[in-house]
Amino acid sequence: MKTAITELFGIEHPIIQGGMHFVGFAELASAVSNAGGLGIITGLTQKTPELLTKEIARCRDMTDKPFGVNLTFLPTFSAPPYPEYIAAIVEGGVRIVETAGRSPEQYMPAMKAAGIKVIH
């Protein structure tokens, strides 16, 4: 099937797995990607940016298809280190980020500079 979504993300079917806290690990993301959709690792399920780096590498070992990472921007007194999570995504070669929650506007320049496609 060919649609704007399949063309944009290089996937077979216009199906995008959303970020799912506590289940969006490499196993699920790679399974969705291997089936032709766009699998998504849930970034903040990984407690640190270093763990996200490892999860991205695990997903790369499980699929050669496109996958993305979800970042949820939460209203909080102590925000997660979003720039470090974004650096892990960039260094891991991920080219698709699905955002949720608050506006990702302040982080868009860094993601766009890295050639990342952002879905909000």
- Residue 75 in this model has a pLDDT that exceeds 90: no
pLDDT mean over 6-14: 98
Domain ranges of the chain: 4-119
Average pLDDT over all residues of the chain = 96
- In single-letter form, the type of residue at position 17 comes to Q
Tokens of 83: 């720039």
Q: pTM of the entire structure?
A: 0.95
- Residue 45 in this model has a pLDDT that exceeds 90: yes
pLDDT value of residue 95: 98
Residues 6+ positions from 37 with CB-CB distance below 8 Å = 11, 12, 13, 15, 16, 17
pLDDT tens for residues 79-112?
A: 899 999 999 999 999 999 999 999 999 999 999 9
The CATH-assigned architecture of domain 4-119 is Alpha-Beta Barrel (3.20)
Query: Using the 8-state DSSP alphabet, how is residue 16 labeled?
Result: B
Query: Phi, psi (5° rounding) for residue 114?
Result: -90, 0
Residues 6+ positions from 26 with CB-CB distance below 8 Å = 41, 55, 56, 58, 59, 61, 62
